[in-house]
């Protein structure tokens, strides 16, 4: 049976042959997106996580046995195994051919925790000295007004938005994509609830339909949400007319933290105010996303996917 070319998340390819069955009948390679993300959260790359999970299932294996179950290209197996060995996650068995055995993850976690504790102690003891050594010069420091900042990565963009929303005193306005409601709820829900309780005006405008109806309803507890009849590839956030952030979500999905987003932030008063006014005009052109039904209850405006 011919092999099939598979492309991994890192852009490489490998040849998968269905005749080459490595695992006993009834067992499956324990690789799924959730487990990969957990391992990546502890400092492993995608390839390292895939190979480690495959090796956990196999017990021990040679390098030639790992590409198929791990979906890692054969040319990357040896370097990945060396990296895992350096991390203390793989033992190298001196056999012919060389075999590899997975080290229990608990051992790796204990070593990692010890390393972090040592770094924390070192940081605490050197904090004052480092602060003095790397203090910002008051002569050369730029004025706060008129700054611009480029931000890369969804988590970093989200962190900047949290900072912006937490500083809001009078108003927040945002224009987003069809997936923005889910991202805003997951990443900024706590800030929205707090600001709404303090009387801050919060306005959102998105293209709304049945795909984001539940998120729109949830956002409407804290804000005025309007539907706009067009799609926008960029998301805009303005706070108090003093800060403005425009981002391009990559990909445009519901994840609050995973993405290769790029964004530009500014607190230049003229630009931030002008962009906030433009966002306000877009919001005013929209229609209420949750119109009153006959009984007086709020119901989502459901629009078909045909309009997408």
Residue 249 confidence (pLDDT) above 70: yes
pLDDT tens sequence across 263-293: 999 999 899 999 999 999 999 999 998 754 3
Distances (CA, A) of 257 to 150, 157, 158, 171, 181: 17, 9, 7, 25, 14
pLDDT category, 145, cuts 50, 70, 90? low
Residue 78 confidence (pLDDT) above 80: yes
pLDDT tens sequence across 101-143: 999 999 989 988 888 899 898 888 888 888 888 876 655 544 5
Q: Comparing 249 with 302, which gets the higher pLDDT?
A: 249
Which domains are delineated in the chain?
4-106 (1.10.10.10), 148-307 (3.30.870.10)
In this structure, what are the phi and psi dihedrals at residue 164, rounded to the nearest 5 degrees? -65, -50
pLDDT category, 85, cuts 50, 70, 90? very high
Residue 212 confidence (pLDDT) above 60: yes
- Taking the CA of residue 148 as centre, how many other CA atoms within 13 Å lie in the half-sphere pointing to its CB? 6
pTM above 0.75, yes or no: no
Residue 202 confidence (pLDDT) above 70: yes
Angle at 281 between CA 292 and CA 168, to 5 degrees: 85
- The pLDDT value given to residue 135: 77
């Amino acid at each position: 049976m011919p092999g099939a070319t598979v492309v991994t998340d890192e852009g490489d390819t490998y040849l998968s042959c269905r005749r080459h069955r490595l695992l006993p009948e009834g067992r499956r390679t324990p690789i799924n997106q959730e487990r990969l993300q957990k391992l990546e959260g502890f400092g492993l790359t995608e390839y390292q996580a895939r190979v480690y999970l495959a090796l956990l299932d196999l017990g021990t294996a040679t390098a030639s046995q790992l590409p198929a179950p791990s979906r890692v290209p054969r040319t990357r197996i040896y370097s990945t195994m060396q990296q895992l060995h350096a991390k203390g996650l793989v033992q190298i068995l001196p056999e012919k051919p060389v075999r590899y055995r997975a080290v229990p993850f608990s051992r790796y976690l204990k070593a990692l925790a010890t390393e972090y504790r040592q770094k924390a102690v070192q940081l605490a003891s050197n904090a004052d000295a480092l602060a003095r050594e790397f203090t910002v010069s008051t002569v050369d420091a730029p004025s706060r007004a008129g700054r611009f900042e480029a931000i890369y990565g969804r988590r970093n963009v989200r962190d900047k938005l949290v900072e912006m929303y937490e500083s809001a005193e009078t108003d927040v306005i945002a224009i987003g994509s069809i997936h923005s409601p889910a991202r805003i709820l997951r990443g900024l829900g706590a800030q929205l609830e707090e600001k709404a309780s303090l009387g801050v005006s919060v306005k959102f405008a998105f293209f709304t339909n049945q795909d984001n109806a539940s998120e729109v309803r949830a956002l409407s507890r804290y804000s005025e949400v309007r539907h706009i009849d067009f799609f926008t590839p960029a998301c805009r956030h303005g706070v108090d007319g003093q800060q403005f952030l425009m981002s391009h979500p990559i990909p445009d999905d519901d994840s609050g933290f995973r993405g290769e987003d790029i964004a530009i932030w500014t607190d230049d008063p003229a630009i931030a105010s002008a962009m906030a006014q433009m966002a306000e005009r877009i919001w005013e052109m929209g229609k209420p996303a949750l119109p009153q039904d006959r009984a007086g209850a709020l119901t989502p405006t459901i629009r078909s996917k045909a309009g997408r």
